[in-house]
Amino acid sequence: MSKPSKPLLLQKPNATPLPPGMQEKLAAFAASKRGATPGVDATTAALQRATLSGPSDIPNLRPANSFPPPRPRGGGMMGRRKPNFTLKDIEGGGGASGAGLGAGRPPVRTDTAPAFSNFSKIVDLSGALNFSGKAVLHADGVDFSNGASFQINMTQLQLDEELGRGNYGTVKKVLHRPTNVFMAMKEIPLELSPAKLDGIIMELDILHRAVAPEIVEFYGAFTIESCVYYCMEYMDAGSLDKVLGIKTIQQGGGWVGELGEGAPEDVLGRIASSMSRGLKFLKDNLQIMHRDVKPTNVLVNRKGEIKLCDFGVSGQLDNSIAKTNIGCQTYFAPERIQGTTAGTDAQEAFNTYTVSSDVWSLGLSIIEVALGRYPYPPETYNNVFVQLQAIVHGEPPQLPEVKSSSDVDPLEVQFSEEARDWVRICLIKDPAQRATYADLLAHPFLVADSQREVNMMAWVAGALGRRELQARLRRELLETADGTHEPLSV
């Protein structure tokens, strides 16, 4: 790892700068606070009056300067060897209410006010962000409305490698120097879009409340200039699809085989159990649907722990139905594609779904983990229309009784009738007949998992070793196809 060219304290984050027009208006706004109003145009003057004294026209949004200043913070991370920043012990009770976050997802805004006006009601002159009166983010951490706070800032962090890019931003590995603990830091460029601002507070809300062994732990958040940063638990083996090496190699336009190494049944049961418990926790305790269940959103560490992540598109349950059509089409349930929800017209049905849609995505993910490849035929991989037609009109995929694990290791792998039936009840076409999380956890397949020891650490270590071999084989294949390298011996 290369060291930064100058001390981290002096470096600015790799962030998106504010547009020049916004900078000018913020400068004018700052001048008005000092009484220097001459020369300000009528639009900016009106914006100043609305920001300084006018009521907010956005639901649940208070002017930043009306939020009480955070009380002085003491303690923090310096005295701790291991970070433990979840808010389950906050005064006033657990969950969102105890932390002043309320119980619900931020409402979808329908106002037509200028984007800058919306933004100016959230940001103050110091650069702190006041999200709907629920939390204030600043350069040194996050303060919740009851005075509870997480202290963490960029000067404490040493940047390492980039881990990936998600729906809302970039994730980097960082070292928290006061505790010598690695974390995953998510960098989110702050945009004027109300939907983006809602997404930030929504994910912050979920991360803060989701305290469970099957959910990545939240360590804190802060803001610098035009970016928001979340610090979360670093899962050192990566996402489930990368651990398994799920990837199909293409040579000369043809499919030459999948190098993914599927999981054996005992490991498959442990993964299915962890994912089911995590999704049930979100539903039962937070009334949250994940809405983007897939192997890339399941993280693994070298201790063998399995945890859900990426709540950027999660939705709050509203009378058992959540609206908006967001997620990855590859893992969509048939009803999300077809729009067959009872009691709605076609357009509304297309945009609505229930918890059972996540159950379908769970079942599809487990088959992919078992086989080491996406379970629909290869001809659907590059044609979204054909893929959606296969999901809606074709027979649901099944977990085979016997499979050949891969071309690298052509041993046959057996799957029990219990494992196959568990997947089957996840992938019932009719969502009303599909299994619930309680059904899945009470199924003999997962009951057996709870009664046996599974050496997940050894499986993760072996899977990572195979992944390195697969990467080498991919390089060999591509270099040979280009005529730039002789085949390597294995």
Report the distance separating Cα 40 and Cα 44, nearest Å. 6
In the chain, the domains with their CATH numbers are 8-233 (3.30.200.20), 238-472 (1.10.510.10)
Q: Kind and range of the H or E element at 271?
A: helix 265-286
**Cβ–Cβ under 8 Å, residues 99 and 93:** no
- Terminal Cα distance for the chain, rounded: 29
| CB hemisphere CA count around 151 (13 angstroms) | 14
Give me the residues paired with residue 215 across strands.
308
- How far is residue 209 CA from its own chain's centroid? 14
Catalytic positions are 292
Taking the alpha carbons of 431, 436, 442, 445 in that order, is the dihedral positive or negative? positive
Three-state DSSP state, 243: helix
**Cβ–Cβ under 8 Å, residues 311 and 291:** no
User: Tokens representing 143?
Assistant: 């303060």
Residue with the two structure tokens 């960098």: 187
**Cβ–Cβ under 8 Å, residues 431 and 356:** yes
Proportion of the chain in helix, strand, coil states, percent, rounded to 5:
35, 20, 45
- Of the candidates 154, 97, 130, 116, the one whose C-alpha atom is nearest the C-alpha of residue 18 is 116
Q: Output the CA–CA distances (angstroms, integers) from residue 6 to 12, 225, 361, 369, in the order listed.
A: 11, 20, 46, 44
Report the distance separating Cα 447 and Cα 443, nearest Å. 6
Judge if pTM exceeds 0.75: no
pLDDT digits (tens), the chain, 490 positions: 444 433 333 333 343 344 444 445 445 544 544 444 434 343 333 323 333 333 333 333 333 333 344 444 443 443 333 444 433 333 333 333 333 333 334 444 444 445 555 556 667 666 787 776 777 878 888 876 656 677 899 999 999 999 987 656 789 999 999 999 999 999 988 876 777 777 787 788 888 788 999 999 989 999 988 889 999 999 999 999 889 877 543 433 333 344 467 899 999 999 999 999 999 999 999 888 888 899 989 999 999 999 998 876 555 453 333 333 444 557 889 988 876 434 444 445 445 568 899 999 999 999 999 998 888 877 676 777 888 889 999 999 999 887 655 444 445 668 999 999 999 999 999 999 999 999 999 999 999 999 999 999 999 999 998 878 877 887 888 887 766 555 444 3
Write out the E strands in 117-169.
Answer: 129-131, 135-138, 141-144, 149-151, 157-165
Report the distance separating Cα 41 and Cα 92, nearest Å. 46
